[in-house]
Every structure is written in C-alpha cells, then in structure tokens.
C-alpha cells in the first residue's frame, strides 16, 4: 500500500443536465428528485458515488487494489467472511483490495455472528447535489409502434397507426452543486493515498462520459474546485471555504452553463491552497 494522504481537502463540484432525468425518485413515479418545499433539484450522494465506482470499474477492470465491492452481481457476505480470521484482518484485507471501501467506507456487518467485519468509515464523503434554481419536472408522452403481446396487437387492429403510450420525465436544464469532504484522519485508517485521490478527481471529471442514456439527456461536469489544507486536521472550516465559491445567474431562465458565472474569492485563509481541476 502507498502512503495515506496527509492533507485534508474540501471541494465543490458543479455539473449540469439538459433535457434529462439525472436521478429519478421511485417514490414519485421516477420524476427528477426535488425539494418538496422550494422545488430545487436534488441528486443523492449514492447516485454520484455509483458513477465514480462505474468509472473505476471500467478503467481497472475489477483488478486489486481497484476492485469495486458494491456492484451488481457481488454476493457480499461470503467475500467478507473469507477476507480474514478476525475483524481487523478482514477490514485490512478489504480496504487493500477494494477502492470503494478504501474511499467511501462500507458497512461490513452483514453476515451472521462472527462473520462480519464491523464498519469502515471512509475518508471521502459527498453531500446531496442541489440545483442552483428551481427545476421544472417536465413530463412527455412517448409512443412505440411495436407491441409486446398478441392481445395488445389485437386491441390495436382497429387503429390506423398502432401504438402504445408511455411517459418520460426530464429537467429542461439545471446546474447542480455538490460539496465533498476528504479526511486525512480517516485516510490513515483505510490507506486512502495520493494516487487514490487523483483517481477520484479523474472519476468525477469523467463520471458522465460512460454513463450516457436517453433518459439522462446531456450531463457534463463544469467545475471541480478543491481546497487543500496544509495540515491533516484542516486550517479553516469547510463552510467558510464553500462560501468562497458563488454562482451568479445571468439569465432569468437558464438553459446552459453560459447563463451562470462562477466566482471564486481567492483571498484564502492561511494554510489553504486552491486547486481547480476544471
């Protein structure tokens, strides 16, 4: 294992969506997620983590130490049980092999008595992403000419143009903002290294490139602004640093990133370095 990071980081990640559904809510007929009180758009932290995991999977082909623990097809309990004889040994083995455990942590107490591995707190934490403005949850009727059953085909024989109807939900445009925290203290516990950190930045900048679908429309990263602290505990509070990044709307009805201006207050506190990845 390489040496864990020695500096704390806080970061702001901006990305947008055009004519797509970035994160449907299954409790609301898969409409784009929104704050029920002010209608600002929301995207869960696990949604962005999934895209990071998917990029790592594609780049490293599930090879250790960049394997992915939380992925479709994995049966977790046997993996945890076979990773070591005790909790400490299992945690060490799992954080060494799996990038996502080393980065985000994981609940590893899913097995029976004596089979779990406790909980690993990851050094990297994401907030929910929130849109800069209210979103409009557009719903569209869609049709198809093919049918799925003989009964459906018979029912449509009388129509001049046979078709079935469905629904599709989109956001016309929204700019989302996510905050992230990277703890050097927790990195020591999992072995999260400088190379792991660079891979995280890379994954965020390419998160949408290999996750294209008609449902998600156009999604693109717009800004990745990191604050690097000179100490492992940090030299300023994260909230103060996040307030140094402001977004100004230039158009009352934004339809592109050009309708916003991102301003960064560069009068940084002592011991804090500004890093712009995009």
φ, ψ for residue 57, nearest 5 deg:
-60, -45
pLDDT of residue 177: 98
Tens of pLDDT, residues 52-99: 999 999 999 999 999 999 999 888 888 888 888 888 889 999 999 999
CB 242 within 8 A of CB 179: yes
The token pair at 81 is: 């049980």
Give the three-class secondary structure for 29. coil
- Distance, in Å, from the CA atom of 83 to the CA atom of 115, rounded to the nearest integer, reads 10
Q: How many residues does the chain have?
A: 278
CB 48 within 8 A of CB 272: no
Q: With the C-alpha atoms ordered 204, 210, 216, 220, is the resulting torsion angle positive or negative? A: positive
Query: CB atoms < 10 A from the CB of 168, how many?
Result: 14
Distance of CA 235 to the CA centre of its chain: 26
CB 4 within 8 A of CB 192: yes
Give the three-class secondary structure for 154. helix
CB 11 within 8 A of CB 180: yes
Q: Are strands 164-182 and 124-126 parallel, antiparallel or unpaired?
A: antiparallel
**Residues 6+ away with beta carbon under 8 Å from 141:** 165, 166, 167
- Distance, in Å, from the CA atom of 13 to the CA atom of 211, rounded to the nearest integer, reads 18
- Distance, in Å, from the CA atom of 266 to the CA atom of 24, rounded to the nearest integer, reads 36
Please give the radius of gyration of the chain, using alpha carbons only, rounded to the nearest integer: 22
pLDDT of residue 145: 74
Low-confidence ranges of the chain (pLDDT < 50): none
pTM of the model: 0.91
Q: Residue 97: name the closest of 82, 115, 116 by CA.
A: 82
Place of tokens 């103060």: 240
């Amino acid at each position: 294992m390489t040496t864990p990071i020695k500096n704390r980081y806080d970061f702001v990640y901006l990305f947008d969506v055009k004519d797509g559904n970035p994160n449907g809510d299954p409790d609301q007929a898969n409409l784009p997620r929104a704050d029920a009180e002010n209608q600002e758009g929301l995207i869960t932290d696990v949604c962005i983590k999934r895209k990071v995991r998917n990029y790592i999977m594609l780049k490293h082909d599930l090879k250790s130490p960049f394997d992915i623990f939380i992925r479709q097809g994995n049966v977790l309990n046997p993996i945890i049980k076979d990773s070591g004889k005790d909790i400490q040994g299992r945690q060490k083995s799992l954080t060494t092999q799996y990038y996502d455990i080393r980065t985000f942590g994981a609940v590893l107490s899913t097995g029976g008595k004596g089979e779990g591995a406790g909980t690993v707190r990851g050094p990297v934490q994401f907030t929910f992403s929130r849109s800069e403005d209210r979103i409009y949850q557009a719903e569209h009727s869609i049709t198809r000419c093919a049918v799925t059953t003989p009964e459906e085909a018979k029912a449509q024989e009388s129509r001049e143009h046979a078709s079935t109807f469905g629904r599709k939900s989109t956001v016309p445009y929204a700019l989302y903002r996510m905050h992230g925290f990277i703890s050097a203290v927790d990195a020591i516990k999992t072995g999260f290294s400088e190379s792991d950190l660079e891979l995280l930045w890379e994954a965020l900048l390419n998160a949408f490139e290999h996750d294209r679908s008609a449902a998600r429309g156009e999604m693109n990263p717009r800004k990745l602004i990191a604050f690097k602290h000179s100490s492992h505990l940090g030299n300023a509070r994260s909230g103060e640093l996040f307030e140094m990044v402001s977004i100004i709307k230039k158009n009352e009805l934004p339809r592109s990133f050009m309708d916003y201006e991102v301003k960064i207050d560069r009068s940084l506190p002592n011991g804090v370095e500004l890093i712009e990845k995009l």
